Amino acid sequence: MNNTVTSSNDFFAATLQDLIEYPTSGILSKVLLKDKNSQYSLFCLATGTTIDKHTSTRNAVITIIEGTGNLNLEGKDIALAPGVLVFMPANTPHAVQAQENLAFVLSLSETLPAKKEISQQTIDIVKSTAPILKQHGQKITTRMYEIMFHKHPEVKAQFDMSAQANGTQPARLATAVYSYATHIDDLKALKAMVEKIAHRHVETHVLPEEYPIVGECLLQAIKEVLGDAATEELMTAWTEAYQALAEVFINREQQLYQTTF
């Protein structure tokens, strides 16, 4: 269900209930419409599904179609039910839980600049982890995929599972993570890597809301593999670093989506 229905160049009308399709677990999503300034996606969450706390670089509006759930917005709980509309400013922490099958339309505004630059302290800490990542990187990424596929089985459809089985996908990601740690203060050096990955993400219809899933699992894997070496300071730095990199990909992929659809 992770596909685009139409671009803004086409007339579009639909009965939303006809497009709803619930998975047995997790999330199914469909981009309904996108243009240079906005994107409208249908999300269908199975009963009990949780989208962990994350932020978006764009203003967002959630409109509930059917089902019930809870939206935690900056620590405040908002009951979700048919007809409820919630506006969320860019970079506002939020999380969603489906109490029963829950369907909603997520409307995203134009891409906004990153909220802040990476701090020098974070740059220094992340660069210092490069030797560790060179040694343990593939172990970390292999564990990350194990965690992600267990907690979020719905994302498996977006991955080449044969590349998972033979280890090539974890190896590629380990190389990318190591390169980021090495060049976090010189992202221009990573342009070719970013372009390659961004194009692959567009081909598999990766959405901005899926980046928190990857980030959550990557950070958990780092903590598990590094053990005592994964200090609170190190984890805080990598959290900030991941969010900054996610913004780079989200913004670039939005540009590609606009030219692709």
- Spell out the domains of the chain, with CATH numbers in brackets: 4-108 (2.60.120.10), 120-260 (1.10.490.10)
Mean pLDDT, to the nearest integer, of 207-227?
91
Residue 235 has pLDDT above 50, yes or no: yes
Cβ atoms within 10 Å of 209's Cβ, excluding its own: 19
For residues 30 and 140, which has the higher predicted lDDT (pLDDT)? 140
Q: What pLDDT, on the 0 to 100 scale, is given for residue 44?
A: 95
Residue 261 has pLDDT above 50, yes or no: no
Rounded CA separation 14/7 (Å): 14
Q: Are 4 and 261 in contact (CB under 8 A)?
A: yes
Residue 116 has pLDDT above 70, yes or no: no
- This prediction has a pTM of 0.59
Mean pLDDT, to the nearest integer, of 92-111?
90
Mean pLDDT, to the nearest integer, of 219-237?
95
Mean pLDDT, to the nearest integer, of 228-254?
91
Residue 138 has pLDDT above 90, yes or no: yes
Residue 260 has pLDDT above 60, yes or no: no
Q: What pLDDT, on the 0 to 100 scale, is given for residue 253?
A: 82
Q: Which percentage of the chain shows pLDDT scores above 90?
A: 52
Residue 2 has pLDDT above 50, yes or no: no
| One-letter identity of residue 172 | R
- Mean pLDDT score of the chain, rounded to an integer? 87
Catalytic residue from among 22, 145, 178, 211: 211
Residue 207: which residues within 8 A CB-CB, separation 6 or more? 2, 29, 31, 41
Q: Which letter does DSSP use for residue 73 in this model?
A: E
Q: Are 176 and 193 in contact (CB under 8 A)?
A: yes
Catalytic residue from among 209, 216, 240, 253: 253
- Name the nearest CA neighbour of 118 among 244, 242, 246, 247: 244
User: Would you call 217 helix, strand, or coil by DSSP?
Assistant: helix
Q: Which percentage of the chain shows pLDDT scores above 70?
A: 91
- Name the nearest CA neighbour of 244 among 174, 178, 195, 187: 187
Q: What pLDDT, on the 0 to 100 scale, is given for residue 9?
A: 57
For residues 25 and 3, which has the higher predicted lDDT (pLDDT)? 25
Q: Are 219 and 242 in contact (CB under 8 A)?
A: yes
Mean pLDDT, to the nearest integer, of 214-242?
95
Cβ atoms within 10 Å of 203's Cβ, excluding its own: 11
Residue 128: which residues within 8 A CB-CB, separation 6 or more? none
Q: What pLDDT, on the 0 to 100 scale, is given for residue 35?
A: 72
Residue 102 has pLDDT above 90, yes or no: yes
Q: Which letter does DSSP use for residue 56 in this model?
A: -
Q: What are 13-31's pLDDT values in tens digits?
A: 888 989 999 999 999 988 8
Q: What pLDDT, on the 0 to 100 scale, is given for residue 111?
A: 57
Instruction: Give the highest mean pLDDT range of 27-41, 106-120, 140-154, 242-256.
Output: 140-154
Q: What pLDDT, on the 0 to 100 scale, is given for residue 159?
A: 82
Q: What are 31-86's pLDDT values in tens digits?
A: 888 776 788 889 999 999 998 888 777 888 999 999 999 999 988 999 999 999 99
**Cα 245-249-174 angle, rounded to 5 deg:** 60
Question: Catalytic: 74?
Answer: no
Cβ atoms within 10 Å of 228's Cβ, excluding its own: 5
- For 61, list phi and psi in degrees, rounded to 5: -130, 130
Residue 141 has pLDDT above 90, yes or no: yes
